[in-house]
Amino acid sequence: MSKSKTQPELKNLGYEIFVGILSILSILNLFLVTFILDQNLQFILYFMNFLMSLIFLLDFFYRFITAPSKNAYFFRQFGWADLLASLPLAQIKIFRIFRLIRVYRLMRELGLKNILRGLVKDRAGSALTTLLLLGILVLEFGSIQILAVERQSPDANIKTASDALWYTIVTIATVGYGDRFPVTNPGRLVGTFLIVIGVGIFGTFTGYLANYFLSPSKEEPMPEKVQPAPDNLQVRLEQLKQLMVQQQEAIDELDRLLNRTT
């Protein structure tokens, strides 16, 4: 595929990598749900599947709306597979492999040097997508880890998947209601990690929004300066003569009008 055909299909580089890694994670969760028999862990994986399905559905609409040719995207670029893969059904999540194929194809056509150059050029966007991906990874594996280390303690108040997800969400969001908290040392260590990650995510996100809304718009190019008339005495005298001729013509016209009235 030529670069002219690839470029409209390619979105932001950081965004494409973000979607590709999410696709890998969702397929991995599909296998984990199959082999893990613990209902609490399955609940966490089902919750993450619902969250990623929502992201993939938004991704489908984004690609469909911005596609130069909607028919080409839906049929030739596997848009129909994107739509099916965004549904939270385990039987059709395998269609998310088409997203991986697209990301791999686009990355291969760009080349490693162009990818690194694009990521460095768009540092703000790359950092934002990286932290969003980190937040999703921490939400899943942080919930699994806090549940694994806490529910073994008889004094624990994080004993179910719902408790673990709630604690991880409010900790990442730096809210900290305090209704759920770790009581073991390993659990507190996990909680500390979640707090640090949460501060980094929301601090970067706030800075990104502030920069987006408050940064001045690009200045319009200044019009070319009009070259001043050359400072030549002869030119200025000629202009003065023309002005005097125009004034004399005006006086003569005024005299003719006065003579007619008298």
What confidence category does residue 142 fall into, taking pLDDT thresholds of 50, 70 and 90? very high
Contact 49, 26 (CB under 8 A): yes
Percent of the chain past pLDDT 90, that is, above it, reads: 18
Per-residue exposure over 222-251, b if at least 16 CB sit within 10 Å of its own CB, e if not: eeeeeeeeeeeeeeeeeeeeeeeeeeeeee
Tokens of 57: 């559905």
Decide: 30 and 93 in contact? Cβ < 8 Å.
yes
Model pTM score: 0.69
Residue 6 has a pLDDT of 47
Please give the structure tokens belonging to residue 243: 């002005």
Class in CATH terms, 122-215: mainly alpha
Domain segments of the chain: what residues? Answer: 1-120, 122-215
Q: What integer pLDDT is reported at residue 5 of this predicted model?
A: 46
Tally of residues, the chain = 262
- The residue ranking higher by pLDDT, 120 or 61, is 61
pLDDT (tens digit, 9 = 90+) per residue, 157-213?
899 999 999 999 999 888 877 888 899 999 999 999 999 888 888 777 777 777 777
> Which candidate, 260, 140, 153, places its Cα nearest to that of 194?
140
Q: d(Cα 168, Cα 73) in Å, to the nearest integer? A: 37
Is residue 130 over pLDDT 60?
yes
What percent of the chain is predicted at pLDDT more than 70? 85
Report the pLDDT value the prediction gives residue 190, as an integer from 0 to 100.
Answer: 92
Most confident of 118-122, 127-131, 208-212: 127-131
Mean of pLDDT over the chain? 79
pLDDT in tens, 199-240: 888 777 777 777 777 766 555 454 555 455 455 667 777 777
Q: How confident is the model at residue 129 (pLDDT cuts 50, 70, 90)?
A: confident
Phi-psi region of 222 (alpha: psi -120 to 50; beta: other; left: phi over 0): beta
Q: Chain centroid to CA 56: how far?
A: 14
User: Which residue has better confidence, 205 or 146?
Assistant: 146
| Both structure tokens of 121 | 């050029």
